[in-house]
Structure 1
Amino acid sequence: MEPLIAIVLALMGYALGSAKVINEGNEALVERLGRYHRKLTPGLNFIVPLVDTIVMEDTTREQILDIKPQKVITRDNVYLEVDGVVSWQITNMERTFYKIEDIQLALANLSTVELRAYIADRTLSETISSRNEMNQSLLQILNEISAEWGVRILRVDIQSITPPESVQKSMAEQQAAEIRKQATISTAEGERQAAIKRAQATKESIQILSEAMSSKAETKEILRYLVAQEQVEVSQKLGASTNAKIVFLNPSLTEGALDQMIGETGTHEGNNNGSEKNSL
Structure 2
Amino acid sequence: MWTLLLALILLGLFIFYNTFVIVEMREEVILERFGKYHDTLHPGLHFTIPLVDRVAYRQETREQVLDVPHQKCITQDNIEVDVDGIVYLKVMDAYKASYGINDYRLAAVNLAQTTMRSEVGKITLDDTFSERDSMNEAIVEELDKASDPWGVKVMRYELKDIQPSQDIVLTMEKQMEAEREKRAEITESSGERDARINVSEGNRQKSILMSEGQREARVNEAEGEAREMELIAEATANGIERIADAIAQPGGSLAVKMRLTEQFIDRLGEIVDGANVSVLPMEAANLKSFFEGASEVTNPIQNK
Q: Which region of structure 1 is more displaced relative to structure 2, 167-176 or 268-277?
A: 268-277
For structure 2, list consecutive stretches of 5 or more residues without a partner in the other structure: 230-304
Structure 2 residue aligned with 1:134: 135
The CA deviation at 1:213 is 5.5
Change (3 A) 1:206 1:97: same
Report the Cα distance in structure 2 between the residues aligned to 1:18 and 1:45, rounded to whole angstroms: 8
The CA deviation at 1:180 is 1.5
Q: Does 2:80 align with 1:82?
A: no
Structure 1 residue aligned with 2:96: 95
For structure 1, list consecutive stretches of 5 or more residues without a partner in the other structure: 216-264
- The within-5 A match list for 1:226-241 is none
Report the Cα distance in structure 1 between the residues aligned to 2:62 and 2:77, rounded to whole angstroms: 41
Report the Cα distance in structure 2 between the residues aligned to 1:272 and 1:47, rounded to whole angstroms: 125
Structure 1 residue aligned with 2:162: 161
Q: Which region of structure 1 is more displaced relative to structure 2, 103-112 or 72-81?
A: 72-81
- Root-mean-square deviation (CA), in Å? 3.2
Report the Cα distance in structure 1 between the residues aligned to 2:177 and 2:93, rounded to whole angstroms: 52
Q: Equivalent residue of 1:88, what SS?
A: strand
Among the aligned pairs, what percent are the same residue? Answer: 31
TM-score if structure 2 supplies the norm length?
A: 0.65
Contact (CA 8 Å) 2:18, 2:51: kept in 1 or not?
A: no
Larger radius of gyration: 2
Q: Equivalent residue of 1:89, what SS?
A: strand
Report the Cα distance in structure 2 between the residues aligned to 1:95 and 1:274, rounded to whole angstroms: 114
The CA deviation at 1:272 is 6.6
Change (3 A) 1:101 1:13: closer
Change (3 A) 1:276 1:163: farther
Contact (CA 8 Å) 2:72, 2:82: kept in 1 or not?
A: yes
Change (3 A) 1:277 1:193: farther
Q: Which amino acid aligns with 1:115?
A: M
The CA deviation at 1:16 is 5.3
Structure 2 residue aligned with 1:117: 118
Q: Which amino acid aligns with 1:65?
A: L
The CA deviation at 1:199 is 2.9
Q: Equivalent residue of 2:59, what SS?
A: strand
- The within-5 A match list for 1:42-81 is 42-81=43-82
Structure 2 residue aligned with 1:235: none
Structure 2 residue aligned with 1:226: none
Structure 2 residue aligned with 1:174: 175
